[in-house]
Amino acid sequence: MATRAEPFAAHPHVFVAPPGHPLLGRGHPPLQTLQGYKLIRREEGSGTRAALDHEFDAIRRQGYALDAEEFVDGLVCIAVPVRAPGERAVRCALALQAPAARVSLERLPAFLGRLNEAAVAVARTL
């Protein structure tokens, strides 16, 4: 399968750290700098943590994630993980986005076969 990557928008990431954290004041460190640091989640019993844990569990179970116009109004999305051959960790994700007016959220899983094929092709390049 021939694949092509075309960046179409910048989506900067931010992180929040406590006073005195070693990465504070380092400007814009590359994402790899965060490896080795634990992700801090909300405390047990937090509604935010429970909602996020529930969503992550559902994504792991079904093997894909959906975006129902949460990120961009009018745009729906389905994404699958990309893992390097022989690895369990997710290296990146491959997503298909479409205007909600043309493709319903319920119809997106119909594209999973081709999307997973493309994810395997991308994984071979890692």
Q: Which domain holds residue 69?
A: 31-123
Which residues, including other chains, have CB under 8 Å from residue 99's CB and lie 6 or more apart?
Answer: 74, 75, 76
Q: Per the structure, how many domains does the chain have?
A: 1
**Which CATH number is 85's domain given?**
3.30.450.40
> Rounded to an integer, what distance in angstroms lies between the CA atom of residue 59 and that of residue 50?
14
Tell whether the model's pLDDT for residue 68 goes beyond 70.
Answer: yes
Inside any domain, residue 15: no
Strand partners, 81: 93
The per-residue pLDDT for 44 is 85
Inside any domain, residue 6: no
The per-residue pLDDT for 71 is 84
Provide the mean pLDDT of the chain: 86
> Which of 41-55, 84-98, 110-124 is modeled with the greatest confidence?
110-124
Tell whether the model's pLDDT for residue 1 goes beyond 80.
Answer: no
Inside any domain, residue 13: no
Inside any domain, residue 58: yes
The per-residue pLDDT for 78 is 97
The per-residue pLDDT for 38 is 76
